[in-house]
Structure 1
Amino acid sequence: MESTPTERTPAVVAGEIAAIKAQTRKILLVSAVEVGRRLMEAKEMIPYGEFCKWLEEAVDYSERVAYKLMRIAEEYGPGLSVLSEADVSNVPFARLGYSQAFALLGIPAEERAEFIAQLDIEHMSVSALQQVIKDRNEALEEKTALAKKLKIHQDKVSGLAEERDQAKKEAEAKEQALWSEQSRVTQLQRELTVLQNDSVAARRMKEIERERDIAKINHAMAQADARYDLIVKGFDDLFSTIREMAGADPNAYKLFVNQTSEFIAKTARKLKRIKKNDTNGTDRTGGSRGSCSRNTMILRKNLPAG
């Protein structure tokens, strides 16, 4: 006659767990997986809120230990279930204690087998294993942080190289404009020499001098514009870089904030001194400096001589 299967009840499960515990003083991974499976089975059968009481009374487990065992069953159970009993005995990490197995959950599942193969984990204490895992994770975090910082600096170098190339092109264009203006100044100077002794030539000389002055001013303004744009662009890039440092390197962030603030303060003091020295507040042409924009200054060369 076939034997009637035993009904699965919390009491039956508790008896099986006790039998497994009795097989060894140290709960091995294989045993821990079997206990964890049965704990999950019992948890499904026991009414809500009574599982902790059942753990204490039926199997003498704390809630913390029970949930560790169930976690181990979830993580290691699928891999061990496909092995035969002979195969399991040949798997080195199958002889680990459940505390060691739980500590190894700190290693990603796809990297766990390789990590175990590199160390004699079976003979390591739990505290030693936890320290090795901690050191490994900290090293990986440091490596990731350094790689991120390297990427930031590589991108910055690439951006600066592009800016350098663009600035070089702009400088070449401005150099050509400068030579053109200088050629025009030389031509005007020659015309001035020819017309010096004539009254009409004298008026023309004033016009030429005016044009020459305007050409010089325009050249200076062009240089100032270019430098002003580079300064604005440089400050934008500097502020962006400083903000990126806030999370990656707080010390460097504070250093650059302080240095930048000091530089801006010094610059502001220099501007105040310049403004203070200009007591008359007028330019060489007699107009108010505050009422003339850069574009208006450049366009003066198109006005008739006054």
Structure 2
Amino acid sequence: MEDVSTERTPLLIAAEINTIKRQVSKVLLHNAIEIGCRLAEAKGKVPYGEWGRWLEESVSYSQRTATNLIRLFEEYGTPQPTLPDWKALAKVSYTQGLILLGVPEEERAQFIAELDLESMSTRELQKAVQERNHAAAERDRALQENTELQQALVDQKDQITKMSGKQDNLRNKVDELTLAKAKSEARAEQLGLDLQSLRQDTSAQAVNRMSNRLDEAYHKARANKVAFLYESLDRTFRELLWELKEFAKQEPESYKVYKDKLVDFLTKSLKANM
């Protein structure tokens, strides 16, 4: 007999969903996943723009509820090696399943295993998730701070290394400056000695020049005096000769006496001083 496959239409899917809803008065996670699976299937078949109306007319769901159910299917319905055995989720309600979505997928299985979900109220589970998330945030913040501290330590070590290098460079610079200072001081001392020697030499030369100038001035003054005296003597001698000639005309005898005296004076003076 040939198998006749039934086409899965939105109408058929709605009938299945309503059947599941009627089977349980309390929607458990397993049932919610089954409904979410069919809603995801129907969403791909319902014409664009008619999804909200189809939900309301066919299964009496709001778009928000449908979105939550599809999300439960996507999170719990596909095979996930990190999730516990389905027996552990058998008594988890739809609401609890939504709350547990607040736990990261990679940590959800361990978190569920540590809780007694069957005896926990919705508020207690919300508090547990909040406390877990707060602790995780504190852990992540501590890890971040530790990472930042480690990086700061590395940066500080790098800074210390750089500062050490700069310090070594400064020491070398100080040594170079100290050596340059010593050389400059030695050079300054030598220049001082050279200057002192130069001053001494200059002073001696100045004294010699001054002495020479004084000698020159003295000799020049003596020469000028001799020239003056010579000119005076020459003028006086000429006047004397002229007077003697005039005197000879009037007093020949007296002229002879003074002439002899003059000759005798000149002769003795030349012999005594020349």
TM-score (norm 1): 0.55
User: Which structure has the greater CA radius of gyration?
Assistant: 2
Provide the residue aligned with 2:262 in structure 1.
none
SS of 1:45 mapped into structure 2: coil
Provide the residue aligned with 2:45 in structure 1.
45
Q: How does 1:135-154 map to 2 (within 5 A)?
A: 135-154=134-153
How much does 1:79 deviate? 1.9
How much does 1:166 deviate? 1.3
Of 102, 109, 113, which aligns to 1:106? 102
Matching residue's letter, 1:183 = A
Provide the residue aligned with 1:287 in structure 2.
none
Provide the residue aligned with 1:162 in structure 2.
161
Provide the residue aligned with 1:255 in structure 2.
none
Q: Distance in 2 between matches of 1:181 and 1:107?
A: 72
Q: Does the alignment pair 1:18 with 2:18?
A: yes
Structure 2: tracts of 5 or more residues without a match: 203-274
Q: How does 1:208-227 map to 2 (within 5 A)?
A: none
Q: Does the alignment pair 1:54 with 2:54?
A: yes
Provide the residue aligned with 1:225 in structure 2.
none
Instruction: Determine what percentage of the aligned residue pairs are the same residue.
Output: 34
Matching residue's letter, 1:169 = D
Provide the residue aligned with 1:132 in structure 2.
131
Q: Distance in 2 between matches of 1:59 and 1:137?
A: 39
Structure 1: tracts of 5 or more residues without a match: 204-306
Q: Distance in 1 between matches of 2:100 and 2:200?
A: 97
Provide the residue aligned with 1:78 in structure 2.
78
Provide the residue aligned with 2:244 in structure 1.
none
Q: Distance in 1 between matches of 2:116 and 2:148?
A: 35
TM-score (norm 2): 0.60
How much does 1:184 deviate? 0.9
Q: Distance in 2 between matches of 1:102 and 1:80?
A: 17
CA contact (8 A) 1:195 1:202 kept: no
Q: Distance in 2 between matches of 1:11 and 1:80?
A: 30
How much does 1:141 deviate? 4.4
Provide the residue aligned with 2:91 in structure 1.
95
How much does 1:34 deviate? 0.7
Q: Does the alignment pair 1:116 with 2:112?
A: yes
CA contact (8 A) 2:99 2:126 kept: no
How much does 1:70 deviate? 0.6
Q: Distance in 2 between matches of 1:185 and 1:60?
A: 101
Matching residue's letter, 2:92 = L
Q: Deviation string for 1:76-115 (max 9, x for gaps)?
A: 111279x9xxx63x3x134322222223333332222122
Provide the residue aligned with 2:187 in structure 1.
188
Q: Kindly report the root-mean-square deviation, in angstroms, between the aligned alpha carbons of the 2 structures.
A: 3.1
Q: Distance in 1 between matches of 2:135 and 2:142?
A: 11
Matching residue's letter, 2:130 = Q
Q: Distance in 2 between matches of 1:93 and 1:140?
A: 28
Q: Deviation string for 1:133-191 (max 9, x for gaps)?
A: 54245324423542453244224312321221111211221122122123213423542
Higher mean alpha-carbon deviation, 164-173 vs 19-28, is at 19-28
SS of 2:180 mapped into structure 1: helix
